[in-house]
Structure formats: C-alpha cells, structure tokens
Structure 1
C-alpha cells in the first residue's frame, strides 16, 4: 500500500464507501432491485457482518450482508480483476448458508441466496453489464433449483438494450469516479447515492472509522509482506539445497559442463530444480542429462 488516502478522496467504487453507503437500507434496496431486476418488499442490512475486522473473514471484511423475505444477499465491490473471482463466490454462498441454517431446521428453510459482485472491469470479456449464473444439469439443461444465484455486474458493459436503463445509469455512476457532489444524473436513485456519499464525507464519526480501517489494512499489508519475505527466504534456501544436490551428483560422477552450470545458476524454480535432480540421478554423462532435460521441458 502507498500513501494513505483520506475520506474526501473516496468515490462510490471504493470498498469502504460502497459498503458504508449500502448499509443504509433504502440505498441497499434500490441497488438490489436494479441489480436483480426484481421487486423487493424490504431488506434488513446486517451491519455486524459488514465493515468489520475479523480473522475468520480473512482479515478486513468490506461487503454488504442483507436479508429480505426468504432471501439473503451478499454484495461486494471488486476494483481489480482477480483470477479466482468465480471460486470466491463459493465462500460467500457458504457464509450465507452457515448464517441462515439453524441446527434444528431442515435445508428447506434456507433462503434464496444472491451473491453479487460489482466489478469495475469486465470479468468475462463479453461486454455485458450483468452476468447471471445458476447451477444447471449438464445432460438435461435442467436447473438444480438449489437457491443459489451468482451475479456479476460490470461497469464496462455495452449492451444497453438488454438491461434496464436504471441499471446502466447506476453502473455509469459507479464507473465515473466522481469525488464531488453533482446533480448531473437524471436518475433519482443515483442522486440519492450521491447525497449519501456527500453526507458520509462530512461525518466526523465516519472519518474516524475510515482511518481505523485504513490502519488495520496497512497492518495487514505489512504482515503479508513480512510473511512473503519469510516464504521467499525459505524458497531460496530450498532452491540452493536442490542446486547443491545436483552438483554433488555430478561431482561424484566426475561430470563437468559449463552448460549445466549455467542452467543451474539461472534456475530458481524449485519445481524445475527438483526435475533436474531426478534427471541427474538417472544420467551418466552431461550430454545425456541435457538431452533428457531439454526433451522433458520441450514436451511440457
């Protein structure tokens, strides 16, 4: 993490701001109706499951957990593309089920579960504003009807004619990166969100909360860096040990080769070094080793 941000610099797409705005139930209801294209009677936002720091939630948790009649919703803003995003949805669906299923109740009491990711990028590259996933049978194309719905919204869509205008307007607002209050939007719901952002930025209590979250995130980042350093040291030590083991084999067999030495000196990947070690054990001279090693790596 670089220079610390201030609350005034945030836009709706920042995780802290988005989550804080959506903990207002009127804002959350309007968002869900646009995201899912359905009428929702009411929602209750569980503020204890949003904007929290807890090790069970992989550190800082900045998402929105809300409940309606026979429905549960989890909403999270995604700024950077992540290769594991589809698998990440499994974690949130499991969290909903764990929260909603009481020990004395049957599975039929589980609500319809909606996991919604708001992406400031196109997660699948098809230029859609909305991607909706539900589980189906491969052989018959029949829906599983297990109540799990996964929705990815994208601010980079281009298919305006296929989705409601209100959703497009909302996603355009999120994409705009506005840091100041503006009346440019015709949609009353977007203006409502703008006002919420403005009010949050002028709330001293929210500023203190943001500073606390930033501090926790900074500490988490530094801890991660330190852990990564230690892993790097361990990895380096393992690579050096493997390199030495390969050289020992060649020394015992009185094999010398500039090509092999160059290869070892320029390889730090422990997987490749392990492969080299196995190859060295099986070979009686440098030429055989290089032929086998190059052949194995060409085939991969």
Structure 2
C-alpha cells in the first residue's frame, strides 16, 4: 500500500492541490485564457462546490466550477490516470451544469455556453496531441455545427505537437506533468511562476495543511465504505447462488437478502445457506 503524501510533497497534478490553487480566481482565469486562447475579464469560482471549503459534505468532488463575465460556465478537473468512461463523464458534467441552471430558474433558451475541461497526465486518445477539442457537428456535412453551446477539451501532458500550441500552454503542461523537483524548477512562463508562488503559499498555510488532513481522512472513510459495500454485495450474491442450487428463490426472499446492509447478518445467512438442504429450511431458520 502506498504511503499518503504530505501536502509539501504534492504537485499541481494532485486533485487537492490543483483545486486549492484554482480557487484563486486569477489562477483560474489565467488557466482558461491559456487553454482557450482568449481574453477573459473576470472569473467567479464556485467555492461552495469544492470539498476544500466544505468537508462536512463527505464528498470527494474536486473539480473546479466557474463562470466568467460573459456567463460562460466551466468545469475543470485534473486526471492523473485513465479512468473507465471518461468521455461519458464529460456528458454527465455538461448535463449537470445545465440542470443546475434550469433548477435555478434559467429557461433552456437562455442556457449559457459550457466547457468541460480535463487536464490529463496521460494521452487520452493516443494521438500524441497536447489538446483535443470536441463539439457537435453534422456527420453528413462537417461544416454544419449544432451550436448548442457545449465544448469538451482534453489537455494532455504527453503531447508532441508543441509547434501547434502556444508557449504558455506548453509551459503549463510541462509544469503539470513534472515531478516535485521538476515542478519547482525555473520556467520561462509568468503564469507558471504565478502558480509556483500560489503553491508555496498553500503549502506554508497551517489552515490548508489542516484541510488536507481532513480531506485525506474523508478519502480513507470513503474507500473503507466502498470496500464494505463491495463485501456486502458479494456476500448477498454468494447467498443467492447457494440457494439457487437448492431450488427456485422467491422474489421476496431475494429482495430481503439484496437489501440487507448488515455484513455480519449476511455472513450468518451465508453459513446457514451452506448448511441448508432446501430453500424453505433456510427461510425457516433465518
């Protein structure tokens, strides 16, 4: 089992540190300007949706949710390793932003443009590009854009087409992909130096060290709960498999077993199922 890193050992590719850095609106604005290649007057970062400021939520949501002065909404997340269905997560984030706006009273005709941005410390599509941008177009005529206002961007620290991106974006991606020693080196980028200063301030903050400790405890709790849930599900399935050998399992019995959350009781039922000679005998002795 890998040992938990201290806050001082983290780089910006760590979700906690990335979120802490990007909660500064100037850092977030600078990143969006570099990625999109546009000038943005002002960015408002939604702090209430970040675990760093609300650990009582018992959530590990660490993506950055922001909007600019044109009311364009952004969801930005760091990814250090490939995950199943990452592209489906894009769809979920876009729909989540739309739903939050609709619930707040926005009419669908007034939905703003939305961007979902993943910063990946790997190449998500294996084409050695630093940036992959997606928006919907007509399959029969690629010149026809849907123009529904949704764009998804994947950045990769493993690209090779440096001549096709800006020097600032190349410097940021080099910084994002670096190890601790490399990330503390000299960079010919004012924005990266700005991030380095923010990271030093965060690491020197007692408050942030305490928040990181709380975050790690919440992660441990969630992982432990996940393991327990997995054991509960596996034990229930094992009980049903044993009973199915004995005969048809009534629907109500299957529902009772699958809805039980007490692992010790499920273990007891598992032992009982292993000793039973019929489903009815199992029911009688539950």
TM-score, scaled relative to structure 2: 0.79
Report what 1:152 is aligned to.
Answer: 154
Maintained 8 Å contact 1:78/1:118 = yes
SS of the aligned residue for 1:144 comes to coil
* CA–CA separation in structure 2 for the residues paired with 1:45 and 1:78: 19
Quickly say closer, same or farther: Cα 1:200–1:123, change in 2 above 3 A.
Answer: same
Quickly say closer, same or farther: Cα 1:76–1:104, change in 2 above 3 A.
Answer: closer
Alignment coverage as a number of residue pairs: 244
* CA–CA separation in structure 2 for the residues paired with 1:121 and 1:72: 25
* CA–CA separation in structure 1 for the residues paired with 2:44 and 2:122: 29
* CA–CA separation in structure 1 for the residues paired with 2:182 and 2:161: 28
Maintained 8 Å contact 2:137/2:145 = yes
Q: Is it true that 1:140 corresponds to 2:141 in the alignment? A: yes
Residue 197 (structure 1) aligned to one of 192, 196, 199: 199
Report what 1:89 is aligned to.
Answer: 90
Report what 1:284 is aligned to.
Answer: none
Residue 186 (structure 1) aligned to one of 188, 197, 210: 188
Report what 1:161 is aligned to.
Answer: 163
Equivalent runs, 1:125-136 vs 2, <5 Å: 125-136=126-137
SS of the aligned residue for 1:60 comes to coil
Maintained 8 Å contact 1:65/1:75 = yes
Report what 1:80 is aligned to.
Answer: 81
Quickly say closer, same or farther: Cα 1:164–1:79, change in 2 above 3 A.
Answer: same
Maintained 8 Å contact 1:101/1:109 = no
Residue 211 (structure 2) aligned to one of 196, 209, 212: 209
Residues 112-146 of structure 1 deviation map (CA, whole Å, 9 limit, x = unaligned)? 10000111111111111101010112223221111
Quickly say closer, same or farther: Cα 1:32–1:242, change in 2 above 3 A.
Answer: same
Q: Is it true that 1:60 corresponds to 2:60 in the alignment? A: yes
Q: Is it true that 1:115 corresponds to 2:127 in the alignment? A: no
| Structure 1 residue 100 displacement after superposition | 2.5
Task: Judge which range, 188-197 or 88-97, deviates more.
Answer: 88-97
Equivalent runs, 1:149-298 vs 2, <5 Å: 149-178=151-180, 182-242=184-244
Maintained 8 Å contact 1:10/1:179 = no
* CA–CA separation in structure 2 for the residues paired with 1:188 and 1:144: 37
* CA–CA separation in structure 2 for the residues paired with 1:231 and 1:54: 27
Maintained 8 Å contact 1:181/1:195 = no
Quickly say closer, same or farther: Cα 1:102–1:244, change in 2 above 3 A.
Answer: closer
Structure 1 gaps, min length 5: 246-300
| Structure 1 residue 93 displacement after superposition | 0.9
Maintained 8 Å contact 1:122/1:154 = yes
Report what 1:32 is aligned to.
Answer: 32
Maintained 8 Å contact 1:74/1:114 = yes
Report what 2:13 is aligned to.
Answer: 13
* CA–CA separation in structure 2 for the residues paired with 1:90 and 1:8: 35
* CA–CA separation in structure 1 for the residues paired with 2:119 and 2:224: 27
SS of the aligned residue for 1:101 comes to helix
* CA–CA separation in structure 1 for the residues paired with 2:232 and 2:149: 43
| Structure 1 residue 185 displacement after superposition | 0.5
SS of the aligned residue for 1:61 comes to coil
